[in-house]
Amino acid sequence: MFASVLSAAIFGMEVREIQVEADVSDGLPSFTMVGFPSAQVREAQERVRTAFKNNRLSLPPKRVTVNFAPADMKKEGAGFDLPVAAAVLAAAGILKPELLSRVLVVGEISLNGEIHGVSGILPRVIRARELGLRFCIIPEENIREGKLVRDMQVFGVKTLEDMIRCLKEPEAYLYTEEKEMDIQDDPTENRIDFADVCGQEGARRAAEIAVSGFHNILLIGPPGSGKTMLARRLPTIMPRLTFEESLEITKVYSVAGLLTESDPLIRERPFRSPHHTSSPQALAGGGRVPGPGEITLAHRGVLFLDEMPEFSRKSLEILRQPLEDKEIHLSRAAGTYTFPASFMLAAAMNPCPCGFYPDMNRCRCTPGEITHYLGKISQPLLERIDICTEVPSVSFSKMKKRTPGEPSAKIRERVKTVQEIQRKRYQKEKFCFNGELDGRNLEKYCVMTAEADRLLEQAYEQFQFSTRAYHKILKVARTIADMEEAEKILPEHIGEALAYRAYDKKYWS
Protein backbone atom coordinates (compact mmCIF):
# COMPACT_ATOMS: atom_id res chain seq x y z
CA MET A 1 0.00 0.00 0.00
CA PHE A 2 1.25 3.49 -0.89
CA ALA A 3 0.92 6.78 1.02
CA SER A 4 2.64 10.15 1.02
CA VAL A 5 2.76 13.31 3.10
CA LEU A 6 4.28 16.73 2.53
CA SER A 7 7.20 18.02 4.56
CA ALA A 8 9.77 20.77 3.93
CA ALA A 9 13.51 21.33 4.11
CA ILE A 10 15.49 24.52 4.66
CA PHE A 11 18.27 25.33 2.17
CA GLY A 12 19.83 28.59 3.25
CA MET A 13 16.75 30.80 3.70
CA GLU A 14 14.75 28.99 1.03
CA VAL A 15 12.03 26.48 1.92
CA ARG A 16 11.70 23.53 -0.45
CA GLU A 17 8.82 21.08 -0.33
CA ILE A 18 9.76 17.44 0.21
CA GLN A 19 7.25 14.71 -0.55
CA VAL A 20 7.77 11.82 1.87
CA GLU A 21 6.44 8.65 0.22
CA ALA A 22 6.06 5.25 1.86
CA ASP A 23 5.21 1.87 0.46
CA VAL A 24 4.50 -1.33 2.45
CA SER A 25 4.58 -4.42 0.25
CA ASP A 26 5.12 -8.15 0.43
CA GLY A 27 8.72 -9.31 0.72
CA LEU A 28 11.42 -9.89 3.26
CA PRO A 29 10.92 -7.59 6.30
CA SER A 30 13.09 -4.52 5.83
CA PHE A 31 13.08 -0.74 6.18
CA THR A 32 14.76 1.05 3.27
CA MET A 33 15.18 4.78 2.65
CA VAL A 34 15.93 6.28 -0.75
CA GLY A 35 15.89 9.77 -2.25
CA PHE A 36 19.34 11.08 -1.25
CA PRO A 37 18.89 11.08 2.57
CA SER A 38 21.82 12.08 4.76
CA ALA A 39 23.09 9.94 7.64
CA GLN A 40 20.91 11.98 10.02
CA VAL A 41 17.80 11.22 8.00
CA ARG A 42 18.70 7.52 7.60
CA GLU A 43 18.75 7.24 11.38
CA ALA A 44 15.05 8.13 11.35
CA GLN A 45 14.17 4.54 10.45
CA GLU A 46 15.52 3.28 13.79
CA ARG A 47 13.90 6.08 15.77
CA VAL A 48 10.55 5.57 14.04
CA ARG A 49 10.60 1.79 14.30
CA THR A 50 11.52 1.88 18.02
CA ALA A 51 8.91 4.58 18.72
CA PHE A 52 6.26 2.40 17.06
CA LYS A 53 7.26 -0.57 19.26
CA ASN A 54 7.20 1.51 22.45
CA ASN A 55 3.74 2.85 21.58
CA ARG A 56 2.28 -0.57 20.71
CA LEU A 57 2.00 0.25 17.01
CA SER A 58 2.92 -3.01 15.34
CA LEU A 59 3.89 -2.88 11.69
CA PRO A 60 3.27 -5.98 9.57
CA PRO A 61 6.41 -8.03 8.77
CA LYS A 62 6.72 -6.63 5.27
CA ARG A 63 9.07 -4.61 3.11
CA VAL A 64 8.90 -0.88 3.96
CA THR A 65 10.33 1.60 1.47
CA VAL A 66 10.48 5.34 2.14
CA ASN A 67 11.34 7.83 -0.61
CA PHE A 68 12.12 11.54 -0.34
CA ALA A 69 11.20 13.43 -3.50
CA PRO A 70 12.73 15.20 -5.31
CA ALA A 71 15.74 12.90 -5.14
CA ASP A 72 18.34 15.38 -6.45
CA MET A 73 18.51 17.36 -3.16
CA LYS A 74 20.27 15.95 -0.11
CA LYS A 75 17.89 15.72 2.84
CA GLU A 76 19.38 16.65 6.21
CA GLY A 77 18.21 17.12 9.79
CA ALA A 78 15.90 15.30 12.18
CA GLY A 79 12.74 17.11 11.10
CA PHE A 80 11.77 14.28 8.75
CA ASP A 81 11.09 11.77 11.57
CA LEU A 82 7.44 12.74 12.00
CA PRO A 83 6.49 12.77 8.28
CA VAL A 84 8.23 9.40 7.85
CA ALA A 85 6.15 8.00 10.72
CA ALA A 86 2.93 9.44 9.29
CA ALA A 87 3.58 8.10 5.79
CA VAL A 88 4.50 4.62 7.08
CA LEU A 89 1.41 4.46 9.31
CA ALA A 90 -0.79 5.35 6.33
CA ALA A 91 0.95 2.89 4.02
CA ALA A 92 0.51 0.15 6.66
CA GLY A 93 -3.24 0.84 6.86
CA ILE A 94 -3.22 2.22 10.41
CA LEU A 95 -4.19 5.64 9.01
CA LYS A 96 -6.21 6.41 5.92
CA PRO A 97 -3.89 7.83 3.22
CA GLU A 98 -6.39 10.57 2.36
CA LEU A 99 -5.94 12.01 5.87
CA LEU A 100 -2.46 13.15 4.84
CA SER A 101 -3.69 15.12 1.85
CA ARG A 102 -2.63 18.81 1.86
CA VAL A 103 -1.03 18.56 5.31
CA LEU A 104 2.51 19.65 6.21
CA VAL A 105 4.23 17.54 8.87
CA VAL A 106 7.60 18.20 10.51
CA GLY A 107 9.21 17.11 13.77
CA GLU A 108 11.73 14.85 15.50
CA ILE A 109 10.72 11.65 17.30
CA SER A 110 12.40 10.21 20.36
CA LEU A 111 12.56 6.47 21.03
CA ASN A 112 9.57 6.61 23.41
CA GLY A 113 7.38 8.42 20.88
CA GLU A 114 7.74 11.95 22.22
CA ILE A 115 8.02 14.75 19.65
CA HIS A 116 10.91 17.22 19.95
CA GLY A 117 11.17 20.69 18.44
CA VAL A 118 13.22 21.56 15.36
CA SER A 119 14.55 24.83 13.96
CA GLY A 120 13.11 26.59 10.92
CA ILE A 121 9.41 26.09 11.77
CA LEU A 122 8.28 29.63 10.92
CA PRO A 123 9.44 29.68 7.27
CA ARG A 124 7.93 26.21 6.79
CA VAL A 125 4.53 27.33 8.08
CA ILE A 126 4.68 30.45 5.90
CA ARG A 127 5.39 28.21 2.91
CA ALA A 128 2.43 25.99 3.85
CA ARG A 129 0.21 29.06 3.82
CA GLU A 130 1.51 30.01 0.37
CA LEU A 131 0.71 26.51 -0.90
CA GLY A 132 -2.83 26.70 0.47
CA LEU A 133 -2.55 23.60 2.69
CA ARG A 134 -5.22 22.61 5.19
CA PHE A 135 -3.06 22.68 8.31
CA CYS A 136 0.41 21.97 9.72
CA ILE A 137 1.45 19.46 12.36
CA ILE A 138 4.51 20.59 14.27
CA PRO A 139 6.11 19.84 17.67
CA GLU A 140 4.38 21.32 20.70
CA GLU A 141 7.68 23.03 21.58
CA ASN A 142 7.39 25.11 18.40
CA ILE A 143 3.67 25.93 18.64
CA ARG A 144 4.10 29.59 19.58
CA GLU A 145 6.50 30.07 16.70
CA GLY A 146 4.10 28.37 14.27
CA LYS A 147 1.15 30.46 15.43
CA LEU A 148 2.93 33.67 14.44
CA VAL A 149 1.43 32.93 11.00
CA ARG A 150 -2.06 33.91 12.04
CA ASP A 151 -3.97 32.83 8.92
CA MET A 152 -2.67 29.24 8.92
CA GLN A 153 -4.07 26.48 11.13
CA VAL A 154 -1.27 24.88 13.15
CA PHE A 155 -1.45 21.93 15.54
CA GLY A 156 1.23 21.16 18.12
CA VAL A 157 1.77 17.53 19.08
CA LYS A 158 3.70 16.12 22.04
CA THR A 159 3.62 12.42 21.20
CA LEU A 160 3.13 10.03 18.33
CA GLU A 161 -0.38 9.29 19.63
CA ASP A 162 -1.20 13.01 19.49
CA MET A 163 -0.25 13.09 15.81
CA ILE A 164 -2.51 10.10 15.04
CA ARG A 165 -5.45 11.71 16.86
CA CYS A 166 -4.82 15.03 15.14
CA LEU A 167 -4.83 13.44 11.67
CA LYS A 168 -7.96 11.41 12.35
CA GLU A 169 -9.98 14.28 13.85
CA PRO A 170 -8.21 17.61 13.34
CA GLU A 171 -11.24 19.70 14.30
CA ALA A 172 -11.78 17.82 17.55
CA TYR A 173 -8.11 17.61 18.45
CA LEU A 174 -7.53 19.28 21.78
CA TYR A 175 -4.35 21.26 22.22
CA THR A 176 -3.26 24.02 24.53
CA GLU A 177 -4.45 27.33 23.19
CA GLU A 178 -1.54 29.72 23.23
CA LYS A 179 -2.02 33.33 24.19
CA GLU A 180 -2.32 35.53 21.12
CA MET A 181 0.70 37.76 20.70
CA ASP A 182 0.20 41.34 19.61
CA ILE A 183 3.04 43.24 17.97
CA GLN A 184 1.30 46.52 18.81
CA ASP A 185 2.17 46.04 22.48
CA ASP A 186 5.23 48.02 23.38
CA PRO A 187 8.21 45.76 24.05
CA THR A 188 10.08 46.00 27.30
CA GLU A 189 11.85 49.31 27.45
CA ASN A 190 15.58 49.17 26.89
CA ARG A 191 17.76 49.42 29.94
CA ILE A 192 20.20 51.54 27.92
CA ASP A 193 19.42 55.02 26.69
CA PHE A 194 21.14 57.84 24.84
CA ALA A 195 20.61 59.95 27.95
CA ASP A 196 23.45 57.94 29.50
CA VAL A 197 25.95 59.43 27.04
CA CYS A 198 27.84 62.33 28.61
CA GLY A 199 28.74 65.10 26.18
CA GLN A 200 29.78 63.96 22.67
CA GLU A 201 27.31 66.28 20.96
CA GLY A 202 29.03 65.88 17.60
CA ALA A 203 29.02 62.09 17.74
CA ARG A 204 25.39 62.06 18.88
CA ARG A 205 24.47 64.24 15.92
CA ALA A 206 26.32 61.91 13.56
CA ALA A 207 24.55 58.89 15.08
CA GLU A 208 21.14 60.50 14.57
CA ILE A 209 21.94 61.26 10.93
CA ALA A 210 23.18 57.72 10.40
CA VAL A 211 20.03 56.12 11.81
CA SER A 212 17.71 58.59 10.04
CA GLY A 213 19.05 57.67 6.61
CA PHE A 214 20.25 54.13 7.41
CA HIS A 215 23.86 55.14 6.76
CA ASN A 216 26.92 53.18 7.84
CA ILE A 217 29.02 54.93 10.49
CA LEU A 218 32.60 54.73 11.72
CA LEU A 219 33.52 56.10 15.17
CA ILE A 220 37.18 57.02 15.73
CA GLY A 221 38.56 58.06 19.10
CA PRO A 222 40.86 57.21 22.00
CA PRO A 223 40.08 54.38 24.43
CA GLY A 224 37.30 55.16 26.89
CA SER A 225 35.80 58.04 24.91
CA GLY A 226 32.41 56.31 24.57
CA LYS A 227 32.49 54.75 21.08
CA THR A 228 31.04 51.41 22.15
CA MET A 229 28.55 53.12 24.43
CA LEU A 230 27.25 55.19 21.52
CA ALA A 231 27.06 52.22 19.15
CA ARG A 232 25.12 50.05 21.59
CA ARG A 233 22.47 52.75 21.83
CA LEU A 234 21.84 53.03 18.09
CA PRO A 235 18.94 50.50 18.11
CA THR A 236 17.22 52.53 20.84
CA ILE A 237 16.68 55.46 18.47
CA MET A 238 15.49 53.30 15.57
CA PRO A 239 11.73 53.15 14.95
CA ARG A 240 9.85 50.18 16.42
CA LEU A 241 9.60 47.11 14.24
CA THR A 242 6.41 46.58 12.26
CA PHE A 243 4.84 43.11 12.40
CA GLU A 244 6.12 42.33 8.90
CA GLU A 245 9.66 43.31 9.88
CA SER A 246 9.42 41.26 13.08
CA LEU A 247 8.29 38.24 11.09
CA GLU A 248 11.09 38.74 8.58
CA ILE A 249 13.74 38.84 11.32
CA THR A 250 12.12 35.96 13.21
CA LYS A 251 12.40 33.79 10.07
CA VAL A 252 16.16 34.35 10.07
CA TYR A 253 16.51 33.48 13.74
CA SER A 254 14.21 30.47 13.31
CA VAL A 255 16.49 29.03 10.61
CA ALA A 256 19.50 29.73 12.85
CA GLY A 257 17.79 27.98 15.78
CA LEU A 258 18.09 31.04 18.04
CA LEU A 259 14.44 31.55 19.04
CA THR A 260 13.15 31.07 22.56
CA GLU A 261 10.22 28.74 23.19
CA SER A 262 8.37 31.15 25.50
CA ASP A 263 8.34 34.20 23.21
CA PRO A 264 9.74 33.42 19.76
CA LEU A 265 8.74 36.67 18.06
CA ILE A 266 11.68 39.08 17.65
CA ARG A 267 10.31 42.39 18.89
CA GLU A 268 13.44 44.56 18.95
CA ARG A 269 15.93 45.39 16.25
CA PRO A 270 18.97 43.11 16.29
CA PHE A 271 22.30 44.35 17.57
CA ARG A 272 25.10 41.95 16.68
CA SER A 273 28.60 42.54 17.99
CA PRO A 274 30.92 39.71 16.88
CA HIS A 275 34.33 39.41 18.49
CA HIS A 276 37.28 40.53 16.38
CA THR A 277 38.55 36.94 16.25
CA SER A 278 35.42 35.89 14.30
CA SER A 279 36.21 34.02 11.11
CA PRO A 280 34.89 35.01 7.67
CA GLN A 281 32.56 32.00 7.82
CA ALA A 282 31.10 33.18 11.15
CA LEU A 283 30.31 36.56 9.60
CA ALA A 284 29.00 35.39 6.24
CA GLY A 285 27.54 31.99 7.16
CA GLY A 286 29.44 28.74 7.02
CA GLY A 287 28.99 25.05 6.46
CA ARG A 288 28.42 22.81 3.46
CA VAL A 289 24.83 24.01 3.52
CA PRO A 290 25.39 27.47 5.03
CA GLY A 291 23.19 28.97 7.69
CA PRO A 292 22.78 32.63 8.67
CA GLY A 293 26.00 34.34 9.79
CA GLU A 294 26.40 37.51 11.84
CA ILE A 295 25.76 39.63 8.74
CA THR A 296 22.33 38.06 8.25
CA LEU A 297 21.51 37.95 11.96
CA ALA A 298 21.91 41.77 11.95
CA HIS A 299 19.23 42.13 9.24
CA ARG A 300 17.04 45.21 9.87
CA GLY A 301 19.32 46.14 12.76
CA VAL A 302 22.92 47.03 13.56
CA LEU A 303 26.13 45.08 12.96
CA PHE A 304 28.76 46.54 15.27
CA LEU A 305 32.46 45.87 14.71
CA ASP A 306 34.36 47.01 17.78
CA GLU A 307 38.12 47.46 17.29
CA MET A 308 37.62 47.19 13.54
CA PRO A 309 41.31 47.00 12.54
CA GLU A 310 41.72 43.92 14.75
CA PHE A 311 39.44 41.91 12.47
CA SER A 312 41.25 39.90 9.81
CA ARG A 313 41.48 41.48 6.37
CA LYS A 314 39.50 38.61 4.86
CA SER A 315 36.66 39.06 7.37
CA LEU A 316 36.41 42.78 6.67
CA GLU A 317 36.45 42.40 2.90
CA ILE A 318 33.47 40.04 3.10
CA LEU A 319 31.38 43.08 4.11
CA ARG A 320 31.87 44.88 0.82
CA GLN A 321 29.33 42.98 -1.28
CA PRO A 322 26.45 42.85 1.26
CA LEU A 323 26.92 46.55 2.08
CA GLU A 324 26.19 47.35 -1.56
CA ASP A 325 23.59 44.69 -2.44
CA LYS A 326 21.81 44.38 0.94
CA GLU A 327 22.01 40.60 0.57
CA ILE A 328 24.79 38.05 0.63
CA HIS A 329 25.33 35.26 -1.89
CA LEU A 330 27.24 32.14 -0.87
CA SER A 331 28.24 29.48 -3.38
CA ARG A 332 28.77 25.87 -2.37
CA ALA A 333 28.98 22.57 -4.22
CA ALA A 334 25.30 21.96 -3.44
CA GLY A 335 24.24 25.31 -4.93
CA THR A 336 24.08 29.06 -4.38
CA TYR A 337 22.37 30.44 -1.29
CA THR A 338 21.06 33.96 -0.78
CA PHE A 339 20.61 35.52 2.66
CA PRO A 340 19.10 38.94 3.52
CA ALA A 341 21.66 41.50 4.72
CA SER A 342 19.96 44.87 4.99
CA PHE A 343 21.84 46.04 8.06
CA MET A 344 23.41 49.24 9.32
CA LEU A 345 27.15 48.89 9.85
CA ALA A 346 28.57 50.63 12.91
CA ALA A 347 32.30 50.33 13.53
CA ALA A 348 34.65 51.72 16.16
CA MET A 349 38.41 52.00 16.19
CA ASN A 350 41.33 53.80 17.77
CA PRO A 351 43.31 56.23 15.58
CA CYS A 352 46.52 54.25 16.26
CA PRO A 353 47.66 51.15 18.18
CA CYS A 354 47.97 53.03 21.46
CA GLY A 355 44.84 55.06 20.74
CA PHE A 356 46.05 58.65 21.32
CA TYR A 357 47.13 59.85 17.87
CA PRO A 358 47.27 62.74 16.86
CA ASP A 359 47.98 63.88 20.44
CA MET A 360 51.77 63.57 20.18
CA ASN A 361 52.16 64.34 23.89
CA ARG A 362 50.56 60.97 24.68
CA CYS A 363 50.96 58.93 21.49
CA ARG A 364 54.06 56.72 21.47
CA CYS A 365 53.44 55.04 18.11
CA THR A 366 55.90 55.41 15.23
CA PRO A 367 54.65 56.63 11.82
CA GLY A 368 55.21 53.13 10.47
CA GLU A 369 53.08 51.55 13.20
CA ILE A 370 50.27 54.05 12.59
CA THR A 371 50.37 53.45 8.83
CA HIS A 372 50.32 49.68 9.30
CA TYR A 373 47.44 49.90 11.78
CA LEU A 374 45.26 52.10 9.59
CA GLY A 375 46.21 50.09 6.51
CA LYS A 376 44.32 47.08 7.88
CA ILE A 377 41.15 48.75 6.60
CA SER A 378 41.09 48.99 2.82
CA GLN A 379 40.03 52.15 1.03
CA PRO A 380 37.19 50.37 -0.86
CA LEU A 381 35.68 49.36 2.47
CA LEU A 382 36.11 52.86 3.93
CA GLU A 383 34.29 54.32 0.94
CA ARG A 384 31.30 52.15 1.74
CA ILE A 385 31.00 53.86 5.12
CA ASP A 386 28.89 57.00 4.74
CA ILE A 387 29.76 58.78 7.98
CA CYS A 388 33.16 58.88 9.65
CA THR A 389 33.20 60.92 12.86
CA GLU A 390 35.56 61.57 15.74
CA VAL A 391 34.69 60.74 19.34
CA PRO A 392 37.09 62.81 21.48
CA SER A 393 37.77 62.29 25.15
CA VAL A 394 35.20 63.87 27.45
CA SER A 395 36.44 66.87 29.39
CA PHE A 396 36.55 66.85 33.18
CA SER A 397 33.98 69.65 33.45
CA LYS A 398 31.38 67.69 31.46
CA MET A 399 32.08 64.56 33.44
CA LYS A 400 31.69 66.53 36.66
CA LYS A 401 28.36 68.08 35.69
CA ARG A 402 26.95 64.79 34.38
CA THR A 403 24.08 66.63 32.73
CA PRO A 404 21.69 63.99 31.30
CA GLY A 405 21.68 63.92 27.51
CA GLU A 406 18.64 63.85 25.28
CA PRO A 407 16.74 60.56 25.82
CA SER A 408 16.41 57.94 23.10
CA ALA A 409 12.61 58.28 22.93
CA LYS A 410 12.84 61.93 21.90
CA ILE A 411 15.50 61.24 19.27
CA ARG A 412 13.46 58.30 17.97
CA GLU A 413 10.48 60.57 17.29
CA ARG A 414 12.64 62.82 15.10
CA VAL A 415 14.09 59.79 13.32
CA LYS A 416 10.58 58.47 12.61
CA THR A 417 9.61 61.80 11.06
CA VAL A 418 12.67 61.83 8.78
CA GLN A 419 12.18 58.22 7.74
CA GLU A 420 8.53 58.88 6.94
CA ILE A 421 9.64 61.68 4.58
CA GLN A 422 11.91 59.18 2.83
CA ARG A 423 9.21 56.49 2.58
CA LYS A 424 6.84 58.91 0.89
CA ARG A 425 9.55 60.05 -1.51
CA TYR A 426 10.58 56.52 -2.45
CA GLN A 427 7.14 54.88 -2.37
CA LYS A 428 7.46 53.95 -6.07
CA GLU A 429 10.99 52.59 -5.65
CA LYS A 430 12.30 49.30 -4.28
CA PHE A 431 14.13 51.02 -1.41
CA CYS A 432 13.06 53.18 1.54
CA PHE A 433 16.09 55.11 2.82
CA ASN A 434 18.60 57.63 1.52
CA GLY A 435 21.42 55.24 2.41
CA GLU A 436 20.04 52.79 -0.18
CA LEU A 437 19.99 55.25 -3.08
CA ASP A 438 21.78 53.99 -6.18
CA GLY A 439 23.65 56.00 -8.79
CA ARG A 440 20.73 56.09 -11.20
CA ASN A 441 18.44 57.88 -8.75
CA LEU A 442 20.90 60.31 -7.17
CA GLU A 443 20.33 63.13 -9.63
CA LYS A 444 16.58 62.59 -9.44
CA TYR A 445 16.25 62.75 -5.66
CA CYS A 446 19.34 64.69 -4.54
CA VAL A 447 18.63 68.07 -6.09
CA MET A 448 21.10 70.75 -4.99
CA THR A 449 21.10 74.51 -5.19
CA ALA A 450 23.75 76.11 -7.42
CA GLU A 451 25.82 77.14 -4.39
CA ALA A 452 25.75 73.63 -2.96
CA ASP A 453 26.78 72.21 -6.32
CA ARG A 454 29.78 74.52 -6.54
CA LEU A 455 30.85 73.67 -2.99
CA LEU A 456 30.72 69.95 -3.70
CA GLU A 457 32.65 70.43 -6.94
CA GLN A 458 35.44 72.28 -5.13
CA ALA A 459 35.68 69.58 -2.45
CA TYR A 460 35.66 66.83 -5.08
CA GLU A 461 38.60 68.37 -6.89
CA GLN A 462 40.54 69.25 -3.74
CA PHE A 463 40.21 65.91 -1.93
CA GLN A 464 40.10 63.79 -5.11
CA PHE A 465 37.10 61.79 -3.95
CA SER A 466 36.12 58.64 -5.80
CA THR A 467 32.74 58.33 -7.50
CA ARG A 468 31.48 56.18 -4.64
CA ALA A 469 32.57 58.77 -2.06
CA TYR A 470 30.80 61.46 -4.08
CA HIS A 471 27.61 59.42 -3.96
CA LYS A 472 27.95 58.90 -0.21
CA ILE A 473 28.32 62.63 0.39
CA LEU A 474 25.14 63.30 -1.58
CA LYS A 475 23.20 60.66 0.33
CA VAL A 476 24.24 62.03 3.73
CA ALA A 477 23.50 65.60 2.60
CA ARG A 478 20.03 64.44 1.46
CA THR A 479 19.38 63.02 4.95
CA ILE A 480 20.57 66.22 6.66
CA ALA A 481 18.25 68.21 4.39
CA ASP A 482 15.36 65.89 5.29
CA MET A 483 16.06 66.47 8.97
CA GLU A 484 15.46 70.16 8.33
CA GLU A 485 12.54 69.38 5.98
CA ALA A 486 14.34 71.16 3.14
CA GLU A 487 13.29 70.25 -0.39
CA LYS A 488 16.70 71.00 -1.91
CA ILE A 489 20.18 70.32 -0.62
CA LEU A 490 21.76 73.57 0.60
CA PRO A 491 25.48 74.47 0.99
CA GLU A 492 25.34 73.94 4.76
CA HIS A 493 24.04 70.40 4.20
CA ILE A 494 26.92 69.66 1.85
CA GLY A 495 29.36 71.23 4.31
CA GLU A 496 28.22 69.00 7.18
CA ALA A 497 28.27 65.91 4.96
CA LEU A 498 31.83 66.78 3.89
CA ALA A 499 32.84 67.07 7.53
CA TYR A 500 31.94 63.43 7.98
CA ARG A 501 34.36 62.52 5.18
CA ALA A 502 37.18 64.81 6.24
CA TYR A 503 38.28 62.57 9.09
CA ASP A 504 39.23 59.66 6.90
CA LYS A 505 41.44 62.08 4.89
CA LYS A 506 42.95 63.29 8.17
CA TYR A 507 43.94 59.84 9.33
CA TRP A 508 44.49 57.97 6.08
CA SER A 509 46.28 60.68 4.06
pLDDT tens by residue, the chain, 509 residues: 899 999 999 998 999 999 999 999 998 989 999 999 998 899 999 999 999 999 998 888 899 999 999 998 889 888 999 999 999 999 999 999 999 999 999 999 999 999 999 999 999 999 999 999 999 999 999 999 999 998 999 999 999 999 999 999 888 875 444 444 444 445 555 578 998 888 788 999 999 999 999 999 999 999 988 899 999 999 999 999 999 999 999 999 999 999 988 889 999 999 999 999 999 999 999 777 789 999 999 999 999 999 999 999 999 999 999 999 999 999 887 778 899 999 999 999 998 999 888 888 888 899 899 889 988 999 889 889 999 999 988 777 777 666 777 899 999 999 999 999 999 999 989 889 999 998 888 889 999 999 999 999 999 998 888 888 899 999 999 999 999 999 999 999 999 999 998 555 556 65
Q: Are 227 and 313 in a shared domain?
A: yes
Please report whether residue 188 resides in a domain.
no
**CATH number of the domain to which 204 belongs:** 3.40.50.300
Please report whether residue 13 resides in a domain.
yes
**Number of domains within the chain:** 2
State the Cα–Cα distance between residues 168 and 50, nearest whole angstrom.
22
Instruction: Return the closest-CA partner of residue 346 out of 238, 234, 204.
Output: 234
Q: Are 375 and 453 in a shared domain?
A: yes
Q: Which residue spans within 222-358 are E strands per DSSP? A: 271-272, 302-305, 327-332, 335-340, 344-349
Supply the DSSP string of 401-413, one letter for each residue. H------HHHHHH
CA–chain centroid gap for 456, Å, is: 36
* Residues 22, 84 contacting (CB under 8 angstroms): yes
Amino acid making up residue 365: C
Which of 105, 133, 168 delimits the end of a domain?
168
**CATH number of the domain to which 123 belongs:** 3.30.230.10
Which of 120, 153, 168 delimits the end of a domain?
168
Please report whether residue 187 resides in a domain.
no
Please report whether residue 185 resides in a domain.
no
Q: Are 216 and 325 in a shared domain?
A: yes
Q: Are 339 and 420 in a shared domain?
A: yes
Give the CB-side neighbour count of residue 222, counting CA atoms within 13 A: 12
* Residues 230, 219 contacting (CB under 8 angstroms): yes
Amino acid making up residue 270: P
Please report whether residue 366 resides in a domain.
yes
Helix (H/G/I), strand (E/B), else coil: 240: coil
Q: Are 394 and 272 in a shared domain?
A: yes
Residue 500's domain spans which residues? 194-508
Please report whether residue 418 resides in a domain.
yes
At residue 189, the pLDDT reads 56
Q: Are 300 and 428 in a shared domain?
A: yes
Q: Are 490 and 360 in a shared domain?
A: yes
Which of 168, 203, 222 delimits the end of a domain?
168
At residue 503, the pLDDT reads 54
Q: Are 82 and 131 in a shared domain?
A: yes
From residue 446, alpha-carbon distances to 429, 480, 493, 498 in Å are 15, 11, 11, 15
Please report whether residue 317 resides in a domain.
yes
Q: Are 152 and 203 in a shared domain?
A: no
Give the CB-side neighbour count of residue 11, counting CA atoms within 13 A: 15
State the Cα–Cα distance between residues 222 and 158, nearest whole angstrom.
55
* Residues 412, 239 contacting (CB under 8 angstroms): yes
Q: Are 413 and 303 in a shared domain?
A: yes
Q: Are 406 and 485 in a shared domain?
A: yes
Q: Are 371 and 463 in a shared domain?
A: yes
Please report whether residue 228 resides in a domain.
yes
